[in-house]
Every structure is written in structure tokens, then in C-alpha cells.
A = this chain, B = another copy of it.
Amino acid sequence: MTGPAGGSGGQPVGQVWVVGLGPGASEWRTPEVDSILRRASDLVGYQTYLDMVAPGPAGQRRHASDNREEAARAAAALDLAAAGRTVAVVSSGDPGVFAMAAAVMEQLARDDAPPGWAAVEVTVTPGITAAQGAAARAGAPLGHDFAVVSLSDNLKPWATVERRLDAAAGADFVLALYNPVSRHRPWQLGRALDIISGHRDDSTPVVVGRDVGRPAEEVGIVALGELDQARVDMRTVLVIGSSTTAMIERPGHPRQVYTPRSYPAR
């Protein structure tokens, strides 16, 4: 009988690394990720992200897929590794935050996972996620307790999103909102802002970060009551302040925003 473990007489068993490119700029990509991208025999990912990776060594193979096929992509990466390849699954941002790391783990955890996957080592590496990039460009809005919520209800009930927004806004967390809008989810952002506005003044600073770390980057700071939803799209991340988040306006400088480290006693 041939065991599934590498080195015990079975076929060679490879490796899956799940990596994140960061928001886009190579100056925000970790050396560990660059090293893995140079070493991997195969890159698996959404075409747009693979296009952000410089050509690798001769023979390195690229497997591009549609952005929606995360489960299939994760399974394909595990299949390649089970056949002895060393595979980088390429996300943007931090692969652990609303990205491919959970998709790969979900495959690993399947009751009907193929026996060949049993010996594959899966390693996740961290990256800069969009909210961190947007926050840095704007100052320090995440300087105090914060919550990170995806507004996508593709995989969770909208009622869960509402419950979380209400709880986090009610407890005065700063809120980072991912996936605020898509073509198929046009009304969710408005509803989310209504819930948050029930707990916040209209003057609350909001960071609107679009294409952060990419050539088309736009980062604005506006008051919650003046946020133009038409300027928010699927490439936008929002950071909505707590009751203590404040703007800094200095002549000759772009507006900045921060959440103080201290919180007043009631």
C-alpha cells in the first residue's frame, strides 16, 4: 500500500503557498511573497492578479481563472501540489482577509477531499490589506479598536451584515467596509450607511480609498453626511470613523484623519 505522505514511497508531494500581493504597489509587497513567486513551479489566480506578477523563471506555469471561481481555483491548486508541484495561489491584499486563504482551507476541510491532498502542505503568508493602505494614505483612522466587514451578501445573509454593522457601530468601533458595491449588489451600501448613520454624526470622517496602491489611486476624506455613493465601486474600501475620529486640516497639506489612542470616560 502506498501511503499519501511524501517520501514514504508514494509520488512526490508538493506545496501550496497562499500569497497576497498587497493592494497593488510593489513597495507594499513583502519580500516573502516575492521570494515565493520566484520559486513556485505554478501560479494559480485570477487573471488580473497574475498580470501584476513579473515573469518568473523559465518553465513556471500560470493558471488564470475567473474571479468568481474561488473554490475551483483552490481545488486546482491542491491537485497540482498533490502531483508534486509547488504552487502559489495569488490573491491581492492579505490572502487571509476576504481572500483565497479561507477558500483553500475550505477545500482542505471537505469530507470528500481527494486522498492525494492529505500530504500537501498549505502555508499562508500575510500581506497588506486594502484598509491598511487606505488608512495609511489618510493618516491613522485605525489607531483605535476597529471592525472589518464585507458588505457582500453573496455568501452570507444580508441580515447578518446588518446585525454586525449595527453592533459594531453601536459599540463605537471604527468600521472598515470591504466589497461595498457591485453590479449585482446596488442597494446594500445605502442600507449599510443608514444603519451606521443611526449611531454617528453626519460630520464623522470617512476615508474613501479607490485603487489604493495602484496607478489610478484616489483617496478622499469626506464627512459621512456628504459621502457620494456614486463614487463608491467594487474597487473601493471605506473606513468610517468612530465618535472620536477627527480630521486635521492644515494649510498647504491634504486633509488627514486619525482616531486618538485615548477614549473619553462617559
Give the B-binding residues of A (Cβ under 8 A). Answer: 5, 18, 22, 25-32, 35, 70, 94-99, 101-106, 108-109, 118-119, 121-122, 124-129, 132-133, 135-137, 139-150, 155-157, 159-160, 163-164, 166-168, 170-173, 246, 248, 250-253, 256, 258-263, 265-266
Contacts and interface: CB of A to CB of B under 8 A. Distances in A.
Most B Cβ at <10 Å: residue of A29, A105, A248: A105
B159 A121 contact: no
A252 B145 contact: no
A98 B132 CA distance: 12
A248 B142 CA distance: 31
A97 B148 CA distance: 13
Nearest to A122: B256
Nearest to A213: B126
Contact of A118 (B105, B106, B251, B266): B251
Contact of A26 (B31, B119, B261): B31
Contact of A144 (B27, B102, B119): B102
Contacts of A149: 145
Given A30-B128, A105-B258, A168 B140 contact: no
B119 A252 contact: yes
B140 A102 contact: yes
